Amino acid sequence: MGVQEPEDGMRSRTRSSAIEVRCQKTFLIPVLQVDLHFIHSKTRHHYFDVISNCDVILIRYDVTDKLVMSGLIECVKYKSSAKSRMSPMFGMNIFFKKEFLQITGSFKERGARYALQMLSKEQKEKGVIAASAGNHALALSYHGHDLGINVTVIMPIIAPIMKVSACKSYGANVIIHGADISVSKDYAQRLGKEKGLMYINGYDHPHILAGQGTMGLEILEQVPDLDACIIPVGGGGLIAGTALAIKNLRPDVKIIGVESDQCPSFSAAIDAGKPVRANTGSTIADGLAVPTVGVNAFVTAKSLIDRMITVKEEYIALAILRLVELEKAVVEGAGATGLAAIIQGLVPELEGKKLVNLLERCLNIRVVVALCGGNIDTTALGRVIERGLAADHRLIRFVVTVSDRPGGIAELTKVLSDLGVSIKDIFHERAWLKSNIFNVQVKCVVETRDHEHAAELENALRKKYQQVIWGPWYF
Ligand SMILES: Cc1ncc(COP(=O)(O)O)c(C=O)c1O
């Protein structure tokens, strides 16, 4: 996709006019248009019974409008867009939008709260239903409880126990059904129809898109002179709402969407010109694992996104590790993919001068990266950190053949200790060796400081031993 050239009329809506608008206490998206492309498939989506008369939904954001926004402002509190200490490392001014700090741990509260607020009185009395394994379920359950609206969530059997219990603790009616989310979704839609509960799709309901758009408004308020915004993409709801908000006010801001290469469903939709089912694998970014993006989300976002990027899993793990170590932030895989794209070097157009001295100042591009969720199981976090360490060359595996005579292994451990390398695991094998029977093969997992330290170790081993197998492929 090419970069969208703003039209003349849009160019005039620059930062100064945004400020002008705010002075009148009307923080504005004049109109947030969400095309309704599901209208013809009423049978599948319960909510079209409610909005099928509209061709376009027009939503006006107005901070003075207590009816629409007060709940969002009070409950989905502004989360900071703080400048990251990592900025100099990557040659750009990075501002993290810290959505993982929301009460239920993700941006999903924005859309959930707004969709619940926009229900008719009758719908509020009946309640709503949704299918989700995680963040959408948590957000709906919490805000449903807060607004006194009954929420039923259908969660697949693979949903983490912690999330199931949290939804229950917010008073939601939790039904575990389906081996995966698509089965849960079918069931939720059927049950919704049967019981008259409105089905709320977590990434495609127009009010969900609109609610997520408030993240874009906050970003513009907090980093008014931003140049680019990097947003993780699953079903497409977050990027659709946010891009719409930002491009309305600042058409010159680049919007970059990021997916895991294990689930590139938005990129596939762009290639096909419509949502299609993408080939998927398992991913650390489970929140982005939506094989087919939403139709409303796609139609709304496709012309607003300047570039889609897919990142590798190891960089997502590395991003999680960097956030823990350098930002003291616990962020889940889906939430860390924006930083992963930067670490993987996939946004060279945003890079400026990289600084070695972190106190130096430079005038680089200002990039907002949405850290949109923090719900990661502690056990998964442990495993991901190990993968991040491996990707960072701080956890190394190698196999070396040494003498089996007394002192052979002691020599090896001396090489390691002389270099300050610490051993995590070590074991040796004799039976399958084809060489000299007085040799033994030693498999090691060791901790090194960084890439250079690991390279130093590899050189030392190759210098001393004839047979060294370096790296993870051996195992
Ligand atoms: C933490 C997190 N980030 C990003 C996303 C992607 O949002 P969307 O599905 O609206 O594209 C999700 C979706 O669940 C998520 O949980």
Task: Please indicate, yes or no, whether residues 236 and 265 belong to a single structural domain of this protein.
Answer: yes
8 Å CB contact between 289 and 278: no
Task: Please indicate, yes or no, whether residues 134 and 117 belong to a single structural domain of this protein.
Answer: yes
8 Å CB contact between 402 and 416: no
What CATH number should be reported for the domain holding residue 434?
Answer: 3.30.70.260
Examine the fold and report which residue of 346, 380, 414 is the final residue of a domain before the chain moves on: 380
Calculate the dihedral angle through the C-alpha atoms of 102, 179, 282, 339, rounding to the nearest 10 degrees: -10
Closest CA to 291 of 304, 301, 281: 281
Q: Is residue 140 part of a domain?
A: yes
What is the rounded distance in angstroms from the CA atom of residue 435 to the CA atom of residue 204?
A: 62
8 Å CB contact between 320 and 327: no
8 Å CB contact between 90 and 351: yes
Please, what is the average pLDDT of the chain? Answer: 81
Residue 2 CB coordination number (10 Å):
6
Examine the fold and report which residue of 199, 224, 248 is the final residue of a domain before the chain moves on: 199
What is the rounded distance in angstroms from the CA atom of residue 139 to the CA atom of residue 144?
A: 8
Alpha helices in 328-438 (DSSP H): 333-343, 378-391, 408-418
Residue numbers of the domain that contains 124:
108-199
Q: Is residue 224 part of a domain?
A: yes
* CA-derived radius of gyration, the chain: 25
The yes-or-no verdict on residue 68 having pLDDT over 60 is no
Q: Is residue 208 part of a domain?
A: no
Examine the fold and report which residue of 170, 199, 228 is the final residue of a domain before the chain moves on: 199
Task: Please indicate, yes or no, whether residues 70 and 180 belong to a single structural domain of this protein.
Answer: no
Q: Is residue 292 part of a domain?
A: yes
Task: Please indicate, yes or no, whether residues 83 and 221 belong to a single structural domain of this protein.
Answer: yes
- Residue 388 — pLDDT band, cuts 50, 70, 90? confident
Record the tokens describing residue 406, joined without a space.
């007394």
Q: Is residue 29 part of a domain?
A: yes
Share above pLDDT 70 across residues of the chain, in percent, rounded to a whole number: 79
Residue at 284: amino acid letter: I
Q: Is residue 204 part of a domain?
A: no
Task: Please indicate, yes or no, whether residues 115 and 184 belong to a single structural domain of this protein.
Answer: yes
Predicted confidence at residue 211, as pLDDT, reads: 86
Cα 231 to averaged position of ligand 1 atoms, centre (Å): 9
Q: What is the DSSP string of 366-384?
A: EEEEEE-B----HHHHHHH
Closest CA to 238 of 439, 372, 376: 372
The structural domain count of the chain equals: 3
Most confident of 32-36, 57-61, 242-246: 242-246
Q: Is residue 443 part of a domain?
A: yes
Task: Please indicate, yes or no, whether residues 254 and 371 belong to a single structural domain of this protein.
Answer: yes
Identify the three-state secondary structure at position 352: coil
The yes-or-no verdict on residue 234 having pLDDT over 90 is yes
Q: pLDDT of 95-142, one tens digit each?
A: 999 999 999 999 999 999 989 988 999 999 999 999 998 999 999 999
User: Which of the listed residues 155, 204, 238 should we mutate to test ligand 1's pocket, taking the one with most ligand atoms within 8 A of CB?
Assistant: 238
Task: Please indicate, yes or no, whether residues 87 and 120 belong to a single structural domain of this protein.
Answer: no
CA 437 to each of CA 111, 112, 463: distance values in angstroms, whole numbers, following the listed order: 67, 67, 22
Q: Whose CA is nearest to atom 15 of ligand 1?
A: 287
Cα 216 to averaged position of ligand 1 atoms, centre (Å): 15
Q: pLDDT of 423-456, one tens digit each?
A: 999 988 776 666 677 888 999 999 999 999 999 9
pTM here is 0.80
CA 463 to each of CA 274, 406, 451, 459, 460: distance values in angstroms, whole numbers, following the listed order: 56, 21, 18, 6, 5
Task: Please indicate, yes or no, whether residues 19 and 139 belong to a single structural domain of this protein.
Answer: no
Task: Please indicate, yes or no, whether residues 401 and 346 belong to a single structural domain of this protein.
Answer: no
Q: Whose CA is nearest to atom 13 of ligand 1?
A: 287
Q: Is residue 385 part of a domain?
A: no
List ligand 1's pocket residues with C-beta within 6 A. Answer: 106, 135, 203, 232-239, 287-288, 290, 332, 334-335, 372-373
From the CA of 235, give the closest atom in ligand 1: 9
What CATH number should be reported for the domain holding residue 75?
Answer: 3.40.50.1100
Task: Please indicate, yes or no, whether residues 236 and 123 belong to a single structural domain of this protein.
Answer: no
Task: Please indicate, yes or no, whether residues 93 and 118 belong to a single structural domain of this protein.
Answer: no
Task: Please indicate, yes or no, whether residues 39 and 185 belong to a single structural domain of this protein.
Answer: no
Bigger pLDDT: 387 or 459? 459
Give the 3-state DSSP-derived string for 77-144, with helices as H, strands as E and coil as C.
Answer: CCCCEEECCCHHHHCCEEEEEEHHHCCCCECHHHHHHHHHHCCCHHHHHHCEEEECCCHHHHHHHHHH
